[in-house]
Chains A and B, each alone.
Chain A
Amino acid sequence: MTDATLSFDVAMEKFDPVLGFEVHVELNTATKMFSSAPNVFGDEPNTNVNEVDLGLPGVLPVVNKKAVESSIKIGLALNCRIAESCTFARKHYFYPDTPKNFQTSQYDDPIAYDGFLDVELSDGSIFRVEIERAHMEEDAGKLTHMGGATGRIQGADFSLVDYNRAGVPLVEIVTKPIQGAGSRAPELAKAYVAAVREIVKNLGVSDAKMERGNVRCDANVSLRPYGQEKFGTRSETKNVNSLRAVENAVRFEIQRHAAVLDSGNTIVQETRHWHEDTKSTTSGRPKSDADDYRYFPEPDLLPILATPEWVESLRAELPEPPAARRKRLQADWGYTDLEFRDVVNAGVLDEIEETVAAGASAAVARKWWMGEIARRAKLADVDPVALGVTPAVVVELDALIRSGAINDKLAREVLDGVLAGEGTPADVVQSRGLAVVSDDGVLQSAIDTALAAQPEVADKIRAGKIQAVGAIVGGVMKVTKGQADAGRVRELILKTLGVEG
């Protein structure tokens, strides 16, 4: 079933959007929030758990000090007030992703509250998003639905559960209702999540990889007629887990809400699920009794007291804020405002920084990330970062080009091989036989053939029309299937004809 939508422009003429976000950030501590089991992504199922994570009877959870400190740092970076005293609470629900039948979270006394984040939009303007709270909790296990046609829960026969993620420290950041974004709502949504991701990555408290679920976003959208103060009924789109998806999901929900309201119907307050394949949301469950979580203070965990001394010592550890960092990087790299903004908007700032750190020049790093990699990402309809190219690959490709082993055209073929899982660029050059022809003997014979085929061009060059050499270079490239160093070919042609370059 497909929901009706209005065009975005028509929706914006008729309605004023209000947004809200819940962003979950997985902390990159060595151990879990309440147990000493390892917090590691991608290991064999159920090998990073102990009795506490499995909720076995008689266990006693103990709070991870570093997780608390990371949470305070996030609160400080979001300009929040830090609670002098706060507690944990049990949030009860029945679902196999939590073996305890409750999630340990915080309820009415979050560790951080009343903050704000200044978000920079693509035109350089600043939009202030107010932060309601940031609280500590734990992640749930991962379910894989088996059987059924689609791999989705509908039609599944059973589910398999891996509790490695259960108990991983999370910080949930909740905004106040965001008003006044207007037609920039989808862009703001993306920019906000990008800004949170940037902050937690910059703090070093999270790996912040959205494709791994380190940063996950639930997006609330409601519409109201212009001039009306009261908010409309909202929908909550769950687990929108890439920056592009956040933008697209907010845009889609605005268009869907507008169609419902415009036809005189009402919005159902419900959870929606985002589908990357159809770029649309479908109805989840309505808000109901299931949302009565029977919170109560966690009796096994004692209150956290954040003394001013502790908070100030953590504040002193905060790194350079991202906005200041951007100014510095732009100056270091010598990019124009426009070039730099494009880099930021493409979400490849970190990648370029890592590529430069790994040994490439700023110009080369930009050439790759904003050129070939961006082009491929667009074709594949993914974020450039999600394509699978690493800074190390870019540096190696550049080194191969500079050493004369491959040229730009071959480098693109090498990248094909790397993305196809054929190994490092050097491996691909070897296995696909992509090295440029650098054997002068081979080149010379190709040049002799090309000159013989176009004697009138050879005469022109001899007569001093050096620019005619291009036609011969072209002939040589054709014979060598592009695997020749054009500069070297040009040199050899001129030498053959006895002309000074």
Chain B
Amino acid sequence: MAAINRDDVAHLAQLAHIEMSADELDRMAGELAVIVDSVKSVSEVAGADIPATSHPIPLTNVLREDVVGHVLTAGQALSGAPDAQGGRFRVPAILEED
């Protein structure tokens, strides 16, 4: 049985703010199921003593010294903004107070 079904895809699409038609949901559920199943077969090979891989590159602690570097002007920062006012990005009011 596939680890991902049509309802899962619809739920993810909603969370990701992606509008999908019924056809697209059907097709995507099938395609994602193949991918998820493929990943699952890799998991079967890896034993319980192998930790999950979060990164493919064998590097750690790539760190930066705490020194101020490159910074934009407000004008540069706002240059790609659809709308701006008083040096700030102007966005539609969104009713969620977090």
Contact = CB atoms under 8 A, between A and B. Distances in A.
Interface string A36-47: 111000001111
Given A36-B68, A45-B86, A163 B91 contact: no
A47 B15 contact: no
B44 interface: no
Contacts of B14: 289
A160 B88 CA distance: 6
Interface in B51-69: 54-55, 57, 59-69
A49 B73 CA distance: 8
Given A54-B77, A289-B15, A305 B68 contact: no
Given A54-B77, A96-B89, A145-B93, A302 B62 contact: yes
Contacts of A326: none
A62 B62 contact: yes
Contacts of A152: 97
B92 interface: yes
Question: Max chain A CB contacts within 10 Å: which of B17, B57, B78, B93?
Answer: B93
Interface SS of chain B? loop
A67 B63 CA distance: 10
Given A44-B87, A302-B62, A49 B71 contact: yes
A31 interface: yes
Contact of A304 (B17, B61, B68): B61
A297 interface: yes
B19 interface: no
Given A38-B71, A63-B63, A271 B98 contact: yes
B46 interface: no
Interface stretch (A87-95, A345-353, A364-372, A408-416): A87-95
A261 B70 CA distance: 55
A158 B71 contact: no
B43 to A, nearest CB: 16
A304 B61 CA distance: 5
Contacts of B60: 85, 302-305
B14 to A, nearest CB: 7
A323 interface: no
B40 interface: no
Given A49-B72, A95-B94, A285-B96, A160 B86 contact: yes
Contact of A294 (B15, B59, B73, B93): B15
A450 to B, nearest CB: 61
Interface in B13-31: 14-17
A121 interface: no
Contact of A302 (B15, B59, B87, B91): B59
Question: Max chain B CB contacts within 10 Å: which of A45, A145, A289?
Answer: A45
Interface string A42-69: 0011111111001010000011111110
A343 B96 CA distance: 40
A162 B77 CA distance: 10
A161 B91 contact: yes
A78 B59 CA distance: 29
Contacts of B63: 62-65, 68
Interface in A124-180: 143-145, 147, 152-154, 156-163
Contacts of A289: 11, 14-15
B11 to A, nearest CB: 7
Contact of B12 (A46, A143, A158, A294): A294
Nearest to A297: B54
B64 A63 contact: yes
Contacts of A290: 96
B66 A65 contact: yes
Nearest to A68: B63
A30 B54 contact: no
A214 B15 CA distance: 31
Contacts of B64: 31, 36, 62-65
B38 interface: no
A459 B91 CA distance: 82
Contacts of A159: 90-94
A225 to B, nearest CB: 32
Contact of A49 (B77, B85, B95): B77
A398 B62 CA distance: 52
Interface of A: 29-31, 36-38, 44-51, 54, 56, 62-68, 85, 87, 92, 94-96, 143-145, 147, 152-154, 156-163, 238, 271, 273, 284-285, 289-290, 292, 294, 297, 299, 301-305
23 contacts: A29-B66, A36-B67, A37-B71, A45-B74, A45-B88, A51-B72, A62-B63, A62-B64, A64-B64, A87-B54, A96-B94, A143-B91, A153-B95, A153-B97, A160-B85, A162-B89, A285-B98, A294-B16, A301-B62, A302-B60, A302-B61, A302-B62, A305-B61
What 4 A-B pairs come out closest when comparing CB atoms?
A36-B69, A66-B66, A297-B54, A65-B63
Given A62-B64, A297-B55, A302-B61, 6 more contacts: A31-B64, A45-B86, A47-B73, A92-B16, A96-B91, A304-B60
